[in-house]
Amino acid sequence: MTAARFGGDTNRHRWLLIFLILIWAISWPVIKVGVTAVPAIWFGCLRYMIAAFCLFALVALRRQLAFPSRSDWSLIAVSGALQMAAYSALTGLALTILPPGRASVLAFSTPIWVVPLAAWWLHERISQLAMFGVAVGLSGVFVIAAPSLHVEGKDQIAAYGMLMGAAAAWAISIVFVRSHRFAATTLALAPWQMLVAAALLLPLALGIEGSPPPIGASGAASLAYVGPIATAFAYWAVVEVGRHFQAGTISMALLATPSLGILISALTLGEAVGASLIAGVVLIAAGIRLATSTSDRQVQSHQRVCDR
């Protein structure tokens, strides 16, 4: 490969990473609009139905479509249930209460939870700096939630709990993936994971929210963006940039997503940006940086399963 060709590839993938950050930042206010128009669990179910269809078509075109091996089905089940179905349902329900910028910051706190989980589950040695990062990140969570810690804020407290549950579910999936030995590529397994997520959300939506709702223009527009672009395309994009950049570089770049999401939400939906939110963003970002700085392998596992 010539130097010019290498430089061109690097520039294309740098722009792809920037585009990915923008896509995910925009997705939070778009999902907020979506779950206002469509019940949250139904929205998640339809999102993954659409994304699964798109990715099945993609892997078929790449001639990678195959029924997963028995060894990969445990990964598909855990990732589909926790990283996708649980994460989507919990964040969707939280967005019916909270503004999208604030929600995105807490939902992206996942790396903070990976550190203690890896120490407990995988018996990994965690440095004092990493544990300090966990403490700093958790203080940021508290700073963001603190204004709601009163009687009138019970609904918001429940929403914050949902977001922490979503982040923890994603973290469990990350730690599980770290110990898994892949028989197929992550991209080839992605449509099966999304199919599992849709299959799990379907009976949950029927049982809790009733029959499929009519989908108006705003709901359809939201799904048209979130399903094919912010889920299917974004999953392909994060796998693609992961082949060309170091995991730590990608992880730190993606930290821009919540901050950009707050800005977009403030401009489009009028979300208030107060001192507690700004302080929380800074503390959570610093905590993630400290918690992941001593374990590049941890960050690499996080990027390998990242689909939001």
**Is residue 2 scored above 60 in pLDDT?**
no
Token duo for residue 160: 């914050």
List, in sequence order, every beta strand (DSSP E) within 143-290: none
How crowded is the C-beta side of 46, counted as CA atoms within 13 Å?
25
| Contacting residues for 23 by C-beta, under 8 A, at least 6 apart | 229, 230, 233, 234, 237
The string of pLDDT tens digits covering residues 241-280 is 867 776 556 666 777 888 888 888 988 888 888 888 888 8
6's CB contacts (< 8 A; 6+ apart) are: none
**Structural domain contains residue 10:** no
Asked if residue 182 belongs to a domain, the reply is yes
Asked whether residue 7 is domain-assigned, the answer is no
| 141-195 confidence digits (pLDDT tens) | 888 877 766 655 678 888 988 998 998 888 888 788 777 787 888 888 999 999 9
Q: Specify the pLDDT at position 1.
A: 47
Bigger pLDDT: 151 vs 14:
14
d(CA 102, CA 278): 10
Q: Is residue 62 part of a domain?
A: yes
Residue with tokens 């997520």: 197
- pLDDT of 67-115, one tens digit each? 999 889 998 999 899 989 999 999 999 999 988 988 888 887 877 787 7
Instruction: Determine the average pLDDT of the residues in 42-52.
Output: 96
Q: Domain range holding 88?
A: 24-305
Q: What is the pLDDT of residue 165?
A: 92
pLDDT exceeds 80 at position 292:
no
- pLDDT of 10: 72
What is the pTM (predicted TM-score) of this model?
Answer: 0.83
Which range is least confidently modeled, 57-61, 194-198, 291-295?
291-295
How far is it, in rounded angstroms, from Cα 254 to Cα 25?
10
Place of tokens 């967005």: 95
Tokens of 12: 């294309």
Asked, for residue 286, whether it belongs to a domain, the answer is yes
136, part of any domain: yes
Q: Is residue 9 part of a domain?
A: no
Q: 287 and 106 in contact (C-beta within 8 Å)?
A: no
Total structural domains within the chain: 1
Q: Is 174 left (phi over 0), alpha (psi -120 to 50) or beta?
A: alpha
Question: What pLDDT is stored for residue 252 in this prediction?
Answer: 65
Q: What angle do CA 72, 77, 83 make, to 5 degrees?
A: 110
Q: Is residue 255 included in any domain, yes or no? A: yes
